[in-house]
Amino acid sequence: MFGNRPIHQILESVSITEDNGHKIIVGIDYGTTFSGVSYITTHKSDIKEVNIITAWPGELTIPHWKVPTRISYKRENPKLSKNKWGFEVDPKFISYSWTKLLLDKNALVGEYDDPALADMVGQGMMKLPDFRKAEEVCEDFLHELYIYLTSKLCEEMTEKTYDTTPMECWITLPAIWSDEAKDATLNAAKKAGFGSRPDDAIFTIAEPEAAAIATLKMYSGFNALNQIKPNDHILICDCGGGTVDITTYTITQVQPCLEFDELCVGVGGKCGSTYIDRNLHSLLSRRFGTPFDNLPLSKKGSGSRFMMSFEKFKQDFGRNDDDHHDIREVTDLKLDIPDSEFYNEEERIVNLTYKDIQGLFDPVVREISNLVRQQVKEVKRKTGATIDGDKIFQDTSRKVTAVTKYTPGKAISSTLSLYSTALNDPPDYYTESGVIKVGDVCSTFPRGFDFGQSSESNFNARLKETIYNFSHEVEIMFGNKGENLTCRDVLNGKVVGTATIQFDRH
């Protein structure tokens, strides 16, 4: 189902046997439309079962694995005594949804992205308050999630025990996310509180990887039906609310523990279930015109009673082949138009046929099918070749030498440009198609820093001055826990500091 992946798979995809201490391990599935949290507590070899939060603030009659990724600010809603989030957000409140997609707004438009996505900001569907940026709105929502989680943990294990128990957090990221978006999401989570205590930590995990481990686990046991075996190829298609990720893995080991490698570069696009919602708006705009277009977002946008009514039909569509002739009555949309076959004015009901809803799904399914075909084609090409020896391990890194001019007695900074490509066969030059600039890797050295034998000086007769240069290496770490990209400075064979990445924001 779009955007409704089991949250416990995150915890199943991380190692919980790295040490023998007491620990809380938390999985955060931060989604475009819905988010979820699960956790376990461990002590030595004693691992308790996964706890999935299903009770959320707000008036709920049944448990929910996920909470809407939505927030309303007290600052804009005078009737609120505090910020509201998730199920607490009433449709009449000014609220913000789908903000996660704005974290990746600077990435190149993908071939399989929803073509209407770029227009939605102007229509208010992915709007931001004038006092908070996209990363900050994400931070505010995640902060509410963090506060609620910690309150649950304190209730369960007592506040004193929680205060002395380290917490390891894992947050999911789309595989297609740009490095800037990954960094922005991780920073938002950190500022929200995750990993903020002295002994706490937070890491990221690619959504297809988490899905792969959860999916393959049931096929790895000795008594499993259709048991997987080494050299099998597995394609994972992860359809979320805002993004779709497809990655293919090769099984390298089944016992004693499951291991797999990524076979080729994954593909994806911003064509998740929100694409279906936008198609609905396009249909109703064509069908009803100005009366629909001029409605405020509180009446037709994400979180409105109308869209919540449509969500039920969307999730149930295609499960019963006998209902092709049934009319779906989507409730609570007041339009200033007379009765018709598509609208009941008295009941405020929009009538949608099976064909109508199928038309909303078809473009989305078509894009996903194209993505799958592209990946299968690439896998067939790749399986005939030898797998690269450049595998990524925990200590995998690459070094680049930089030579920098400096003035003795002053602080020094050195900058290198970092480029990225998703192509299986990387081009030779950064100016070629398919290459994007990630940002600048910046190294700083304080005044009076001793460069030792890495420094040299030459007298420039024309300028009548001595030119000072030093050389050092910038080491980019690829295999860190959680796949978080980090850089460090190496001088004379020793690590002397951490370099920072300044992303190329447009």
Residues 305-347 have pLDDT tens digits of: 899 899 889 988 887 766 677 899 999 999 999 999 999 999 9
pLDDT at position 16 is 42
What is 365-432 written as a DSSP string? HHHHHHHHHHHHHHHHHHHTSPPPS----TT-EEEEEEEEEE-TTS-EEEEEEEEEE--SS--SSTTS
* 269 vs 374: CA distance, rounded Å: 12
Q: Give me 73's structure tokens.
A: 């600010």
What band does 504 get if pLDDT is binned at 50, 70 and 90?
A: low
* 397 vs 495: CA distance, rounded Å: 13
Q: Give me 67's structure tokens.
A: 């909470």
**Is the pTM above the cut of 0.85?**
no
Contact 150, 156 (CB under 8 A): no
Find the helix packing angle between 134-157 and 179-192, rounded to 10°: 50
φ/ψ (deg, to 5) at 90: -80, 145
Q: Which domains does the chain have, with CATH numbers?
A: 8-223 (3.30.420.40), 397-503 (no CATH)
φ/ψ (deg, to 5) at 115: -65, -20
* 32 vs 240: CA distance, rounded Å: 8
Q: Determine the average pLDDT of the residues in 96-109.
A: 75
Q: What is the mean pLDDT of the chain?
A: 82
Q: Determine the average pLDDT of the residues in 122-130.
A: 70
22 against 337, higher pLDDT: 337
| Residues in CB range of 392: below 8 A, 6 or more apart | 478, 479
pLDDT at position 395 is 66
pLDDT at position 46 is 61
Exposure class string for 48-58: b at 16+ Cβ within 10 A, else e: eebbbbeebee
Contact 5, 213 (CB under 8 A): no
Give the CA angle between residues 82, 84, 86 to the nearest 5°: 165
Q: % helix / strand / coil in the chain, to the nearest 5? A: 30, 30, 45
Q: Reply yes or no on whether the pLDDT at 142 is more than 60.
A: yes
Q: Determine the average pLDDT of the residues in 272-293.
A: 92
pLDDT at position 124 is 47
Residues 206-223 have pLDDT tens digits of: 888 887 877 777 777 777
pLDDT at position 1 is 38
Q: Reply yes or no on whether the pLDDT at 109 is more than 70.
A: no
Residues 152-201 have pLDDT tens digits of: 999 988 999 999 999 999 998 887 788 888 889 999 999 999 999 999 99
